Structure formats: structure tokens, C-alpha cells
Amino acid sequence: MKPNIIFILLDGARWDRITKSNEFQEICKEGTLLNNVSTAMPYTIGSINVTFSGLYGKENGIDGYYKMLRLKKTIKNFPEIFQSQGYFTGCDVLTDKIIPDRGFDIHQVHDEYNDDLFQRHPEFIKKCLKNAQEKPLFLFLYFSKIHTNTVSEVLKKYEWNDKKFYENKEENLERYDSGFKDAGKYSKFILNELKKNNLKENTIVIFFSDHGTGIGERFGERNYGSFTYEETIRTFYLFIGDGIQKNRQSDSLRATIDIFPTLMNLCNFDLEFERPGSSFVDYLLNKENDLEQKSFTFSETGALHGPYPSPDISNVFAIKTPKYKMMYSKAQKEWQFFDLQNDSMEKNNIFTGKTNIELELKKELENWLNRE
């Protein structure tokens, strides 16, 4: 029997603030948390489309904010694939452009300022169950509260270069945590709602973050999308459901491109897509004790605002290993190199361009950038 798949996006949730929500910590005990997952793009539209297509922006068509309508018709993403395999597919998202309606039986949009998602999403789940007529479900729910707080309390109040914002990190963090706590409450609530609707058995729920959110750690990053530091590119994925190991957490390095092959395996689809990611299904199903680390992950971005805006195409790139991160800013023609183990906040750029590891990572990043 095909499992129901329910993706729940906590837009802008930071991996390092999970501990601030008791509710989220509670639900973590019900599943397996991967909390070192590099997003390929630290902004929602880019990130979601990479996760749902299993392809980087260059290959899926969305490699810039201004390419948001350009998901290639020739590639297949989750809703189309699940629909092709007999699923009923539905989403309730922030805007209709977050992800195209291709493959969705229900593609609906909520008003982040006026809709109560605690009421709306249970209704949406019931509607999908009714319309599905016994078909398995593929659902995508979008919790937008952190995003809404960021827009109302940061973007509307501070210009990107307003020093006041960067000087009030503690206040920013407190405000951010308040939003995250709401996300935790919502997560626990919606998980219960799913259970109430008999979506406990044969169901896999995936709570995930599309990107983190800066709170003023560095000048120019008012929220996310400008750079590729840990506060925005490191994300988490929490898997809960049948066969998924409970109360387990891994810091092993993975990437959002790995979600696609993992889902193909979890659902036992007999399909052969060519994708760059690798599945970690055996770890989720407890067939392997340790989550295999990736040697490196890639991320890229092009900001809407800030010192080096580039909404047409990415201009900041990063390669991350379990120990190091190297970044390249095309606008500044500048390289940065960080020792993540000893400098987790990436404050000390130790780029020399001469050590073996730097040369190796530089070469790997250049190969990735110049790929056909």
C-alpha cells in the first residue's frame, strides 16, 4: 500500500532554534531529525523547487528570483510524479507562484495576514481526504508565520543597510524565537490533526525548513537570500511515520537534492529518474545506524536587495564539507574559507587559496559552476 506523504514547510525556520520550542522538541521524539541539510538556495521559491524536483536551479530552470515562473516543463517534480503514481495531490501555499500548479489536484493559496492556519489546514486536510476517494495523499502544507513576522517586523521597518537592525541582534533573535515557537505549536497541532483524521498509519510526515533567517549576524543579510552562511543555508528535515526510527537525530551533512531520491525509495516507486542526489532511506528505516555524510554540498544565491543584488541569476556560491565551507562572491570576485568545526559562526575568513583542502574545494566548486 502506498504511503501518504505530507510535507509541512516551516518557512524560514532556523536549525539552531529548534530547542526554543518545547512542542517542536516533543514531536522530534516521534521521528528522525536531520539537522544539517544544506539548501541549494536560501530563499523559498528556489529552495522548494530544488527539493521537489531533485535538481539544482540551473537544471530545473529556477536559478534566480526573477526565474520564479521558469520551472522547466520538461522536468518532472513531486506533484506530477505522485499524481502519475495514483496519488491525490494538494497544496495550501503562500502564493500561487511558490510552486506551479502542475500535478496538483488542489492548488490553493492562503492569506498570510488574515487566514488562521490552525483552522484552515485541518479543513484543507479534510477536503483532500474527501476528494481523494481512497487514493493515497501527497500534500504540501505551508506554515508562513515566521515569514510574515520577518516581513512585518524587519523588511517593512528596516532598509537592508539600516545599521539599527544589525546593532540589535539580541532583540532580533528574541523576536525570531517568538515566531519559531508559533511554528512549533503549529507543528504539534497539525500532527495531532493528521492523527485525528486517521493519517497516522501508512503516512509519512516531513516537517522541513526551506532556509534559515539572518537576525543581523552580518551586514547585508537582513533576512535571507544575500549570502550562503550557515544561518541561512543550513536547514532541517524531520521525518515522522511508519517505519521511521523514532527519537533519533543526525548532524551528518546532507543536501536538499537528497530528498527526491529518498522519497522515491520510501514510496517504492519503480521509476528511474536521473538525479544528482542520493537516497538516505536505509538510515530513515533503521537499516543503517549512521547517516552517511556527503563529501560536500553546493549552495547558491542571488539577492533581491543588499550590497550585491542579483535577482536574475545567482552570484554567490558555496561548497560545504562536514568540516569546512568555501564561498565565492562573483560581484566582489572574492573567496572566503571557514573552518566550521572551530568557527561555527563563520567569523574568521581563513582563505589563503594555497592549502590542499582549499585548492580541492575551489576546484570542486568551479567544476560545479561550469557543469554542462
Partner 1 sequence: MKQKNILIIILDSIRADKFFGKNKASKIPNIEKLIEKGVYFENTTSPSDGTLLGWAGIFTGQYPFRTGITIGGFSKINKNIPTIFDLLKEEYNFYGHLPEVASKIGLFPKFENKNVFFNKYTNFEDGLGEEIISEFSNLKSPWCYILHSYDMHFPIKLAEKFDQEKYGKTKYDRVMASIDHWLGRILDSVNLDETLLIITADHGTHINELLIDDESLDIEKDQMLNSVAPKIGKIIPEKLLPLKSKVFFALEKKRKKQKEKNISNLNLEPHEVRQVMFQRGDLDKFLYDENVHVPLLFVDSELPKNIKINKLARAIDISPTILDLINSDHKFEKSDGSSLMQEIHGDTVDEKFGFIENTPLIQKKANLVIGIRTKKYKYFRDSEDPSQRVYLFDLEIDEFEENNIADSRPDIVEKMEKYISKINYKISSDSIIPDKKETKIIKNELKKLGYD
Chain residues in the site for partner 1 (CB under 8 A)? 44, 61, 65-70, 72-76, 80-81, 84-85, 94-95, 97, 102, 147-148, 150-152, 155-156, 271-274, 304-305, 312
Extract the C-alpha cell encoding 362. Answer: 575551489
| Cα–Cα distance for residue pair 126/49, rounded to 1 Å | 26
Write out the DSSP string of 298-330. EEEE-BSSSSSB-SSS--EEEEE-SSEEEEEET
Residue located via cell numbers 539552531: 16
Q: Which is nearer to partner 1, 31 or 261 (CB)?
A: 261
Contact 246, 287 (CB under 8 A): no
Residue 125's CB is within 10 A of a number of other CB atoms, namely 22
Q: Cβ of residue 274: shortest distance to partner 1, in angstroms?
A: 7
Q: Cβ of residue 272: shortest distance to partner 1, in angstroms?
A: 5
Q: Which is nearer to partner 1, 31 or 277 (CB)?
A: 277
Length reported for the chain: 372
Q: Cβ of residue 94: shortest distance to partner 1, in angstroms?
A: 7
Q: Which is nearer to partner 1, 80 or 193 (CB)?
A: 80
Q: Cβ of residue 157: shortest distance to partner 1, in angstroms?
A: 11
Helix-strand-coil split of the chain, %, nearest 5: 35, 20, 45
Q: Which is nearer to partner 1, 95 or 108 (CB)?
A: 95
Q: Which is nearer to partner 1, 95 or 168 (CB)?
A: 95
Q: What angle do the packed helices 44-53 and 259-266 form, to 10 degrees? A: 40
Q: Which is nearer to partner 1, 29 or 72 (CB)?
A: 72
Q: Cβ of residue 46: shortest distance to partner 1, in angstroms?
A: 13
| Cα–Cα distance for residue pair 320/327, rounded to 1 Å | 9
Phi, then psi, of 193 in degrees rounded to 5: -60, -40
| Cα–Cα distance for residue pair 346/339, rounded to 1 Å | 7
Q: Which is nearer to partner 1, 112 or 230 (CB)?
A: 112
Strand 234-241 to 31-38 pairing: antiparallel
115, burial (CB in 10 Å: exposed 0-12, middle 13-18, buried 19+): middle
What is the helix (H) or strand (E) element at residue 90, kind and residue range? strand 88-93
Q: Which is nearer to partner 1, 69 or 357 (CB)?
A: 69
Our CA angle for 244, 250, 254, nearest 5°, is: 95
Q: Cβ of residue 150: shortest distance to partner 1, in angstroms?
A: 8
Q: Cβ of residue 13: shortest distance to partner 1, in angstroms?
A: 17
Extract the C-alpha cell encoding 153. Answer: 517586523
Q: Cβ of residue 83: shortest distance to partner 1, in angstroms?
A: 8
